[in-house]
A = this chain, B = another copy of it.
Amino acid sequence: MPDRPRRIPEATVARLPLYYRALVEMAEQRTPTVSSERLAEMAGVNAAKVRKDFSYLGSYGTRGVGYDVEYLLFQISRELGLTQDWPVVIVGIGNLGAALANYRGFSARGFRIVALVDADPAKCGKEVGGLVVEPLADLPRIVAERDVAIGIIATPAAAAQEVAGLLVSAGVTSVLNFAPTVIAVPPGVSLRKVDLSIELQILSFYQQRRDEAAEGRRVAFGGLT
Residues of A that sit less than 8 Å from B by CB: 13-14, 16-18, 20-21, 42-44, 79-82, 84, 86, 88, 95-96, 98-100, 102-103, 105-106, 109-111, 149-150, 173-176, 180-182, 184, 188, 190, 192, 194-208, 210
Per assembly, the copies of the chain total 2
A174 to B210 Cα, complex, angstroms: 10
Is B86 touching A196 in the complex (CB atoms < 8 A)? Answer: no
Is B194 touching A81 in the complex (CB atoms < 8 A)? Answer: no
Which residue on chain B has the smallest CB distance to residue A8?
A: B205
- Tell me the smallest distance from the CB of A21 to a CB of chain B, in Å: 7
A43 to B60 Cα, complex, angstroms: 41
Q: Contacts A200-B109, A200-B176: A205 and B80 contacting too (C-beta < 8 A)? A: yes
15 chain-A/chain-B pairs, Cβ below 8 angstroms: A13-B202, A14-B202, A16-B205, A20-B201, A42-B182, A79-B205, A81-B205, A95-B102, A110-B204, A150-B200, A150-B204, A150-B207, A173-B210, A174-B207, A188-B210
- Tell me the smallest distance from the CB of A192 to a CB of chain B, in Å: 5
Is A88 touching B200 in the complex (CB atoms < 8 A)? Answer: yes
Chain B residues in 8 Å Cβ range of A18? 182, 198
Taking A44-B184, A95-B98 as given, write out 7 further A-B residue pairs in contact, using a Cβ cutoff of 8 Å, ordered by the A residue number.
A13-B206, A79-B205, A106-B196, A174-B204, A176-B200, A188-B210, A190-B203
Is B13 touching A204 in the complex (CB atoms < 8 A)? Answer: no
A21 to B182 Cα, complex, angstroms: 10
A187 to B103 Cα, complex, angstroms: 32
A201 to B16 Cα, complex, angstroms: 9
Is B81 touching A174 in the complex (CB atoms < 8 A)? Answer: no
Q: From the candidates B182, B201, B210, name the one contacting A44 in the complex (CB within 8 A).
A: B182
Is B95 touching A197 in the complex (CB atoms < 8 A)? Answer: no
Q: Contacts A42-B182, A86-B204, A150-B200: A103 and B96 contacting too (C-beta < 8 A)? A: yes
